[in-house]
Each structure stands twice: as C-alpha cells, then as structure tokens.
Amino acid sequence: MNIGKQLKEGLITQNPVLVQLLGMCSTLAITTTISNGIGMGLSVTAILTLSNVFISLLRKIIPEQIRIASYIVVIAGFVTMVDLLLQAYQPDIAESLGVFIPLIVVNCIILARAESFASKNKVLPAAVDGICQGLGYTVVLVVMSAIRELLGSGSLAGARVFPADYAATMMALPVGGFLTLGALIALMQWIQNKAKGGK
Amino acid sequence: MNYKELNLIGSSSPHLRTKDSAAHIMGEVLIAMVPALGFAVYNFGWRALANTLVSAAGCVFFEWLYRVLLRKNCTVGDLSAAVTGVLIAFVCPVTIPYWILLIGDFFAIVVVKQLFGGVGKNFLNPALAARAFMLSWAGEMTTWVGPRSAPPLWTTLFPGTVADAVTYPTPMALLHENNLAGLQQMYDLPKMLVGLIGGCVGEVSALMLLIGGAFLILRKVITWYIPASYIGSVALLTFLFPRGNDPLMWMLYNLLGGGLMLGAFFMATDYVTSPVSHKGQVIFGVGCGLITVFIRYFGSYNEGVCYAILVMNLMVWLIDKNVRPSRFGVPKVKKAPKAEKKEVDGK
C-alpha cells in the first residue's frame, strides 16, 4: 500500500474530474459558490470512502452478474444517510445543493471507484482510495466554485470582493461552468505535459 | 539542347499568385464598415466613434499581448483583430461603458480566438460570442437611446453622462410586442431604411450596411449566397406568417429593424465560421434565417440574429461534412438500393 502514490493519483495524475472526466454533471451544476463546492465535495468524499469500504468488505460475497446493482444499493444507502444528515444539521447547504445530493447515487466517480478499485482491493487501501479520490474531487470543486463565485457574483465565500454590478453573471450560469472546467482541464494537461517534458 | 542554359526556375505550382492576403481582405471589410460607422456617429454622436476605436484597440492589444506572452508569431498585422473589435462595438448600445467593451474584447480574442489556435481556428464568430458573454451586464447591454439624441461633442465621451439617457424602445422591442401600428407611427419606412432609429451602434442603418455589403460582394470579398439566403428566408417567413394584417409592412420592418443586415453581410459571412461550398452556404443562410425568425416570434429575446448565427456556426462542420461538391469528371456513386421493406402481418 502506498498512500503517497494514491494521493498523487487522486489529486493530479488520476484526478477524477480533470483527468478521468467523471462526475461532470454535479461539477458543472453546483460550483456557483464556495460553500456549495465544499459541501458537495465533502459529501461525495464521505460517501465514496464509506461505499469503498463496504464494497471492499463484500467483494467476495457479491456475485459477478449483479455486482453493479449491489454497488448501487450500497451507495444509495450511504447517500440517503448523508442526505438526511445534511438536512438535519446543515439545512442551508442541503437546500442549495438540492437534487444533487440524491443524485450522488448515480455519480460515476463512486461507481467507477467501486468497480475499478474497491472490488479488487482490501479494505484499508479501498478506504485510502476513497479519501484520495474524494479529495481530488473536492479540490477541483472548490477551485472551480471560487473562480465562478469571484467572477460571477463578485464575492468569495460570501464576502464581497467587488460590487455585484461589475460581476459577469455569465460565469455563474452554466456557460461559466463549461468555460471554467475547460480552462482547468487545459491547465491540468499543460502541467502534466510540463512535468513529463521536465523529466 | 542544354536545359540548364535556359535559366528556368524549377518550382511546383502555384505559379501565379494574387496579392490577396488576410490583411488585404480584412482591410476591405474595414472599409466596408465605414459607411455604417459614419452614420452611427451622425445618429448617436461621437461616442459611437470612441466606442469603436476603444474596442478595436482593445482587440488588437489583447491579440498582441497573447501572442507575445506565449512567444508566438505576431498576427496583429492581418487586421482580423481590428475587424473583430469594430464588430463588437457595432453590436453594443452606444451607452455601453468602455470597461464592458474591453471585457468583450478579451473574451472574443483570448477565449474564443486565441485559445483555439488564433486566426482561422475560431469555431464561433468572436464578436458575436463576445456579445453573448457581455449580456452578463444585461442592463448596460439593453439601454437604448433614441436617434439623434446625443448631447454635444465631448460630454458623451465619458461614462456617467450617459446615465441620464432615457431608455428608448427599439424597433425590435415593438415588433416583439406585435405592435406594428405603434412602430409605424414612431418610425416611418424611410427612417427605418436610412437608420434614424434606436438600436446598437452599427446595426441601425440598413442602407449603409447594404452599401457596405454590396461593396464586399463587388470586391469579391464575400459571395452573395449567405446574405441572400439569410435575408431571403427571413423575408419569406415573415411575409408568409405576418402578425397583424399587413404582411408586406411586417416583412419590411422585420428586415430593416434589428441586426439582420449587419449579421447577414458582416458576421454570417465570416470565412472561418461558415461552410466552404456554395450549397452549404445556402443551407447555412437558411438555417440562420429560420432560427432568427423563430427567436423573434417565439423567444423571450427581441432579436435572434446573434444566437442564430452562433448556433449555425456550430453546425458548420456538419454541413461541410455532408455537402460535398461533386468532383469533376468522376461519375456519381450510386447509392446501394434500399433493402425492401418486409411485409408486416396485419399491417
């Protein structure tokens, strides 16, 4: 087990959003404010870690033919728990994330990690994988939502940076999501190419 | 005979070249926009000229900056950035603050054009994409002043003074409310043709734009396929499906109001974002016309030219892929006969 390698994969070389291009729907939809980004990122990280652990535990019991359905049942269980917890303790975030918390059930990052990692590895590496991939997702979400919140509504984490009259509202609309995501993916490719060329 | 004594230069074709270059063509486009700009100054005051100069300078500056920062060869000399800048100023109201123009310039040049590889590689018309982005500031982008209502020379050049400008309905706003009678009362047909109306800086004078367009066609910078099919399809649709009981007037006001002439001659004909073949260009023009009329009739926006051209820009690859001119001397490939439909029992 190599935590450093898994962390590097989650954050950079196998970043779920910028390299694997998974979980696009929620990434584009909810990254309008930093609090949304953090809330969504941490929810996904928690669900991903827990479902990775459980699927890794059950990996010898789950029959090959119905594995996807079984994964979904496990994931849906944790999503329901997180959804209800958020509604109970963080009602503001739960309201602003809306349908995207229940939709984590079909978030392909979680299913992809279950299929490609948790079902083939022991519990501890699976848990670390969940945390690392979840962190990669969270970091991208926070960066994206910071850019979009700053340019789109002129504030950062709710604090006003410049008057809202000057903010480009397009950046808070879906257009801004696609523009920011495209720019970040390009930046990631550029960094990775630089790193390869440097060797 | 010794061929070496003949002093022939051995080279592959082409042997004859024209002096046409990107800079030459873009220069012609700039010349063609002068009448519309002149009329805009007459109609809206010197602020129209100031907007155009600021926007063109902004585009050239961003293009230069990007190319220098990324250590690429400088392409400012081909004038395409200047054309984009002028067009951006043309599709905005005269009261637009300069900083919004500069943000539009940045978006057009850096995001739409340079990030995709620079001149000739943009997949959207940079000026229209910038306009779509600048609608972020919807209030500033839809503050219209009336014709010939500009205060004296210098006061309009600085932001702040324009705040007193009264919001004024444009022809498109009245058409969108199906208020043709009110529009006819406000502007008669000659005013619509000459351009003594409210609207964006460069779009008001259909006559001057027609002169510019005719100049471009005569100089063979553009062909007539796109403008004719675009304007023709809008004319046909608005004539066949008028709102009100005067199809001819409805059609004429639809043709002369809004950005149709500007879009059809100066934006839809952009080489990079329009199809290659003539047949494809006609399809492109008709598509633009259809979407323009649909947005004007059923959309929440008054005017559909900007989005119509942007949407059709995105269809160009599809049109080019499916409309291929037949190759000379090659017999047409016969399509394989379709498999006969199987009889379905009991239909």
By C-alpha distance, the chain A residue nearest B131 is: A170
Cβ atoms of B202 and B212 within 8 Å: the answer is: no
Bridge partners, A160 (sequence order):
A155
Asked whether the beta carbons of residue B133 and residue A169 sit closer than 8 angstroms, the reply is no
- Residue B113 is predicted with a pLDDT of 93
Asked whether the beta carbons of residue B111 and residue A179 sit closer than 8 angstroms, the reply is yes
- Residue B347 is predicted with a pLDDT of 44
Asked whether the beta carbons of residue B138 and residue A169 sit closer than 8 angstroms, the reply is yes
By C-alpha distance, the chain A residue nearest B130 is: A170
- Residue B313 is predicted with a pLDDT of 95
Inform me whether the pLDDT recorded for B167 exceeds 70: no
Asked whether the beta carbons of residue A168 and residue B111 sit closer than 8 angstroms, the reply is no
Inform me whether the pLDDT recorded for B200 exceeds 50: yes
- Summary mean pLDDT of chain A: 89
Residue B117, min C-alpha distance to chain A (Å):
13
Using CA atoms, how far residue A199 sits from A6, A19, A192, A193, A194, in Å, is 21, 20, 11, 10, 9
Pick the residue with more confidence: A43 or B12?
A43
- Three-class SS state of B259: coil
* Ordered structural domains, chain B, with CATH: 22-322 (1.10.3430)
Q: Which residues on chain B are in Cβ contact (under 8 Å) with A177? A: none
Inform me whether the pLDDT recorded for B288 exceeds 50: yes
Q: Which residues on chain B are in Cβ contact (under 8 Å) with A166? A: 99
Host H or E run for residue A159: strand A159-160
Q: Which residues on chain A are in Cβ contact (under 8 Å) with B102? A: none
Task: Write the pLDDT tens digit of every residue in A113-142.
Answer: 998 888 888 999 999 999 999 999 999 999
Bridge partners, A159 (sequence order):
A156
Residue B137, min C-alpha distance to chain A (Å):
7
**Reported confidence tier of residue A89, pLDDT bands at 50, 70, 90:** very high
B138 touches chain A (CB under 8 A): yes
Asked whether the beta carbons of residue B137 and residue A168 sit closer than 8 angstroms, the reply is yes
Parse chain A into domains and list their residue ranges.
Answer: 3-146
Inform me whether the pLDDT recorded for A94 exceeds 70: yes
Question: Which of B47-51, B139-143, B217-221 has the least mean pLDDT?
Answer: B139-143
Q: Which residues on chain A are in Cβ contact (under 8 Å) with B163? A: none
B290 touches chain A (CB under 8 A): no
Among the listed residues B229, B254, B257, the one whose alpha carbon sits nearest the alpha carbon of residue B242: B254
Question: Which of B20-29, B34-43, B48-57, B139-148 has the least mean pLDDT?
Answer: B139-148
Pick the residue with more confidence: B345 or B219?
B219
Give Cα B36 distance to the centre of its chain: 13
Q: Which residues on chain B are in Cβ contact (under 8 Å) with A169? A: 136-138
- Three-class SS state of B203: coil
Task: Write the pLDDT tens digit of every residue in A159-168.
Answer: 888 888 888 8
Q: Which residues on chain A are in Cβ contact (under 8 Å) with B135? A: 170
Tokens of A38: 């953090």
Pick the residue with more confidence: A110 or B1?
A110
Distance CA A56, CA B100 (A): 54
- Three-class SS state of B345: coil
Residue B286, min C-alpha distance to chain A (Å):
27
Give mean pLDDT, residues B48-57. Answer: 94
- Residue B183 is predicted with a pLDDT of 86
Residue B2, min C-alpha distance to chain A (Å):
54
Asked whether the beta carbons of residue B133 and residue A170 sit closer than 8 angstroms, the reply is yes
Output b/e per residue, A36-71; b: 16+ Cβ within 10 A.
bbbbbbbbbbbbbbbbbbbbbeebeebeeeebeebb
Give mean pLDDT, residues B78-84. Answer: 92
Question: Which of A171-180, B165-174, B178-187, B273-282 has the least mean pLDDT?
Answer: B165-174
Task: Write the pLDDT tens digit of every residue in A54-69.
Answer: 999 998 899 989 999 9
Give Cα B51 distance to the centre of its chain: 18
Tokens of A195: 């790193």
Inform me whether the pLDDT recorded for A199 exceeds 50: no
Q: Is the dihedral of CA A173, A174, A178, A180 positive or negative?
A: positive
Q: What is the ipTM of this complex?
A: 0.85
- Summary mean pLDDT of chain B: 86
Inform me whether the pLDDT recorded for B153 exceeds 80: no
Which residues from A are below 8 Å from B when comparing CB atoms? 165-171, 175, 179, 186
**Reported confidence tier of residue B333, pLDDT bands at 50, 70, 90:** low
Inform me whether the pLDDT recorded for A179 exceeds 90: yes
Count of CB pairs separated by less than 8 Å, A with B: 18
Residue A183, min C-alpha distance to chain B (Å):
9
Q: pLDDT exceeding 90 applies to what percent of chain A?
A: 45
- Residue A51 is predicted with a pLDDT of 93
Q: Which residues on chain B are in Cβ contact (under 8 Å) with A186? A: 115
By C-alpha distance, the chain A residue nearest B112 is: A179
B116 touches chain A (CB under 8 A): no
Query: Which residue has tokens 């953090």?
Result: A38
By C-alpha distance, the chain B residue nearest A176 is: B133
User: From the candidates A148, A151, A165, A166, which should be mutated to test the interface with B, based on the most B CB atoms within 10 A?
Assistant: A166
- Residue B218 is predicted with a pLDDT of 94
Asked whether the beta carbons of residue A169 and residue B115 sit closer than 8 angstroms, the reply is no
**Reported confidence tier of residue B20, pLDDT bands at 50, 70, 90:** confident
Pick the residue with more confidence: B258 or B212?
B212
User: From the candidates A170, A178, A187, which should be mutated to test the interface with B, based on the most B CB atoms within 10 A?
Assistant: A170
- Residue B343 is predicted with a pLDDT of 53
Gyration radius of chain B over CA positions? 23
- Residue B334 is predicted with a pLDDT of 63
Give mean pLDDT, residues A183-197. Answer: 88
Q: Which residues on chain A are in Cβ contact (under 8 Å) with B99? A: 166
Inform me whether the pLDDT recorded for A197 exceeds 90: no
Asked whether the beta carbons of residue A170 and residue B135 sit closer than 8 angstroms, the reply is yes
Asked whether the beta carbons of residue B133 and residue A175 sit closer than 8 angstroms, the reply is yes
User: From the candidates B69, B102, B134, B136, which should be mutated to test the interface with A, based on the most A CB atoms within 10 A?
Assistant: B136
